Amino acid sequence: MPYYPELAMVIAGQRTGIDHRTTFTVRNPATGEALGQLPLADTADLDRALEAAARGFAMWRHSSAAQRAEVLQGAAALMLERKEELAWVATQEQGKTLAEARVEVMMNVELFRFYAGEVHRLYGRQLVRPAGMRSSVVHEPVGPVAAFAPWNFPLGNPGRKLGAPIAAGCSVILKAAEETPASALGVLQCLYDAGLPGDVAQAVFGDPAQVSDYLLASPVIRKLSFTGSTAIGKHLMKLAANDLKRTTMELGGHGPVLVFGDVDLEAVLDKVVPHKFRNAGQVCVAPTRFIVEDAIYDRFVAGFAQRAAAIRVGPGWHDGVQMGPMANPRRPEAMEKLVGDAVARGARLVTGGARIGNQGCFFAPTVLADTPPDAEIMQEEPFGPVALINRYADEAAMIAEANRLPYGLAAYAWTQDYRRHRRLAAELETGMLAINTTTIGAADAPFGGVKWSGHGHEDGPEGLQACLVTKTIHEG
């Protein structure tokens, strides 16, 4: 097995190892093999991190645009140089294929490059006033950020959580997922090696609830940035509310995909099936509910299932593998439960539906057809390789189904009718909409949801704005 680094926290620029600390065993989800021991923070560690974040902010808030851009450009160049190493680490600890891990590296490279440009465009404005009077509006960094990143994009999530605050002039304490720490540490190291001062960004790990309780109770922290489930997001927002900290919440989704009868069916299937099973379905913007018009329904289900059954599943580092294991043992367990419930309620299991092999967290690409709306999986984000395909009579019924759930992160539609594009854009309750494409995000495009999928954005100018506060100054 290739390189996997020794794990540590990084507090005030110093590697903080195991010593007396409790540890967490990081495992390869394809094999169950232990990869390393991760030290977990105690409250003294968190206090040190908070002190460093306060120092880091006091200094970095005065950094120039050129200085921030140099760090971000430098880190992007280093990530590109270390692409293979970073991808290998991510594949070992998270399970995804090497090809997908490389895409994650490139997401970070593009985002850091974008922010390196964007920092030069943090303008304020001057208001029209009579002679002798001056009123101006300036944007300042919000302050030290506590950022919590999950395990599904072990490189990309930390990249987003670090990139925006650093570009804005904030400091940040990152708690990435304990299950995928080395990827996060690899991204952070690129920033340090590009010249970021140690106090400006730090990485801690620990018991998630303890760390978030402690950091969010501290007046040092001025903003919470969280990516994860809606349930935990609601809990963390309540903690942030005690001190009126600002929040960016990237929460769950239940992606509707509306497929109309006017499409080139085979071409659409060739796009949507690989998109569904990317990262074994563990993607907040994953297509989940395929809402298919009656006329093409049977052919859609058959074509989808045939392609799903042909997907090559295996360890992410094997040549030709198209889908790796799920990221941790909780996921295949959840899949068994959700698929079992759906079938018991009358859903038709067209393909998959079970674990593969007797080691690792593999679960077969699965297609459920005619799943009744009261099945748990029709309400709850499956976060796994399960496609739900159901039949609908017309556009109105399809839009109603898309908007039925309290989530609103990503929605997709496939249709050749261009007037329908505009109706869908107007009617779908979603933060992001992709029509006739699987592209749902980009470095320059705001990424975020509505309703229970959260609020605020990452990426794009909005991602940077989210780390700023506005000050109005009147001078007589």
Binding marks (x or -) toward ligand NAD, 120..149, rule CB under 6 A? ----------------------------x-
Catalytic residue of the set 100, 178, 250, 381: 250
Give the interface size with ligand NAD as a residue count (CB under 6 A).
20
Q: CA-to-CA distance for 77 and 326, rounded, in angstroms?
A: 30
- Between residues 36 and 233, which has the closer beta carbon with respect to ligand NAD? 233
Burial of residue 280 (CB within 10 Å: 0-12, 13-18, 19+) is buried
250 is catalytic: yes
- Between residues 24 and 114, which has the closer beta carbon with respect to ligand NAD? 24
Question: Token digits for 404?
Answer: 């039925």
- Between residues 233 and 314, which has the closer beta carbon with respect to ligand NAD? 233
> Does residue 190 contact residue 78 with C-beta atoms inside 8 Å?
yes
Catalytic residue of the set 170, 284, 361, 467: 284
Using the rule CB under 6 A, is 180 a contact of ligand NAD?
no
Q: CA-to-CA distance for 360 and 325, rounded, in angstroms?
A: 7
Per-residue burial over 83-113, b if 16 or more Cβ lie within 10 Å, else e, is beebbbbbbbbbbbbbebbbbbbbbbbbbbb
Using the rule CB under 6 A, is 217 a contact of ligand NAD?
no
User: Between helices 83-94 and 181-193, what is the axis angle to 10°?
Assistant: 160
- Between residues 190 and 232, which has the closer beta carbon with respect to ligand NAD? 232
Using the rule CB under 6 A, is 90 a contact of ligand NAD?
no
Binding marks (x or -) toward ligand NAD, 252..271, rule CB under 6 A? x-------------------
C-alpha dihedral (231, 233, 235, 238), degrees to nearest 10: -140
Using the rule CB under 6 A, is 209 a contact of ligand NAD?
yes
110 is catalytic: no
Using the rule CB under 6 A, is 177 a contact of ligand NAD?
yes
> Does residue 282 contact residue 384 with C-beta atoms inside 8 Å?
yes
- Between residues 151 and 300, which has the closer beta carbon with respect to ligand NAD? 151
Contacting ligand NAD (CB under 6 A), which of 93, 104, 250, 293?
Answer: 250
- Between residues 63 and 225, which has the closer beta carbon with respect to ligand NAD? 225
Using the rule CB under 6 A, is 339 a contact of ligand NAD?
no
Stretch that binds ligand NAD, among 102-110, 186-194, 249-257, 395-403 (CB under 6 A): 249-257
Contacting ligand NAD (CB under 6 A), which of 24, 115, 151, 452?
Answer: 151
DSSP letters of 10-60?
A: EETTEEE--TT--EEEEE-TTT--EEEEEE---HHHHHHHHHHHHHHHHHH
Contacting ligand NAD (CB under 6 A), which of 56, 95, 197, 228?
Answer: 228
Q: CA-to-CA distance for 164 and 172, rounded, in angstroms?
A: 10
Contacting ligand NAD (CB under 6 A), which of 97, 152, 183, 247?
Answer: 152
Stretch that binds ligand NAD, among 135-143, 205-213, 391-399, 434-442 (CB under 6 A): 205-213
- Longest CA pairwise span in the chain (Å): 79
Stretch that binds ligand NAD, among 39-47, 150-158, 308-316, 437-445 (CB under 6 A): 150-158
- Between residues 167 and 409, which has the closer beta carbon with respect to ligand NAD? 409
3-state DSSP helix/strand/coil % of the chain, to nearest 5: 40, 25, 35
Min dist CB 310 to ligand NAD, Å, is 26
What Å distances lie between residue 283 and 289, 380, 385, CA to CA? Answer: 14, 14, 10
What Å distances lie between residue 343 and 83, 276, 338, 385, CA to CA? Answer: 42, 20, 9, 16
Min dist CB 105 to ligand NAD, Å, is 18
Q: CA-to-CA distance for 248 and 369, rounded, in angstroms?
A: 35
Question: Token digits for 81?
Answer: 């140089």
- Between residues 91 and 415, which has the closer beta carbon with respect to ligand NAD? 91
Using the rule CB under 6 A, is 150 a contact of ligand NAD?
yes
* Length of the chain in terms of residues written: 476
Using the rule CB under 6 A, is 284 a contact of ligand NAD?
yes
134-141 and 125-126 as β-strands: parallel, antiparallel, unpaired? Answer: antiparallel
**Of residues 353-392, those binding ligand NAD (CB under 6 A):** 381, 383
Residue 399, H or E segment: helix 395-402
Catalytically active residues are 250, 284
**Residues of the shown chain interacting with ligand NAD in the complex, contacts defined by CB under 6 A:** 148, 150-152, 177, 208-209, 212, 227-229, 232, 236, 250-252, 284, 330, 381, 383
